[in-house]
């Protein structure tokens, strides 16, 4: 990236690779005319996203309206990136799916019990990479 092009769109494969590298993101839900956003830790294989949660607002909203957006980002000293995935979320119900989810490297960041798994099938994914440099002269 050059200073002439400080923002670059990422292709689908780049987005998937960055999504796979992350562990913390934000889940956006909408239900009953209300929009919420929740910080969550996650695991992704690049085609889907897995989160663990406890009963509460987040899980309730997902059962009312399954369409969600998910965002994760990261940065280094020289650049930053952001990936946004849209898809449909569903709570895992079958024991086979739950057993498989239990094998994923997904642990809560805080000492709480989270026995519910939510799987998001990614339908659309976009991302951008940003060059980090000083702000240009304004005048």
In the three-class reduction of DSSP (H, G, I as helix; E, B as strand; rest coil), residue 6 is classed as coil
Distance between CA atoms of residues 132 and 139, nearest Å: 20
Residues 18-47 pLDDT 10s:
999 999 999 999 888 888 899 999 999 999
Query: What is the reported pTM?
Result: 0.86
Q: Phi and psi of 58, rounded to 5°?
A: -55, -50
Averaged over 106-112, what is the pLDDT?
79
Distance between CA atoms of residues 47 and 64, nearest Å: 23
- Does position 2 have pLDDT exceeding 60, yes or no? no
Distance between CA atoms of residues 61 and 36, nearest Å: 9
Q: Angle 73-21-7 (CA atoms, 0-180°, nearest 5)?
A: 40
β-pairing, 7-9 vs 48-53, is: unpaired
- Return the CATH number of 7-131, one of 3.40.50.720, 3.50.50.60, 2.30.110.10, 1.10.287.3610: 2.30.110.10
pLDDT at 14: 96
pLDDT at 137: 84
């Amino acid at each position: 990236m050059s200073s002439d092009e400080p923002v670059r769109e990422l292709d689908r494969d780049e987005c998937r690779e960055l999504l796979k590298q992350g562990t913390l993101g934000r889940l956006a839900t909408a239900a009953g005319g209300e929009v919420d956003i929740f910080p969550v830790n996650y695991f992704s294989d690049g085609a889907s996203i897995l989160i663990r949660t406890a009963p509460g607002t987040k899980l309730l909203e997902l059962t009312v309206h399954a369409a969600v957006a998910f965002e994760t980002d990261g940065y280094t000293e020289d650049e930053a990136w952001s990936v946004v995935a849209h898809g449909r979320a569903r709570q895992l119900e079958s024991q086979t799916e739950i057993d498989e989810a239990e094998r994923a490297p997904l642990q809560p960041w805080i000492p709480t019990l989270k026995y519910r798994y939510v799987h998001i099938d990614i339908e659309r994914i976009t991302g951008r990479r940003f060059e980090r440099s000083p702000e240009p002269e304004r005048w």
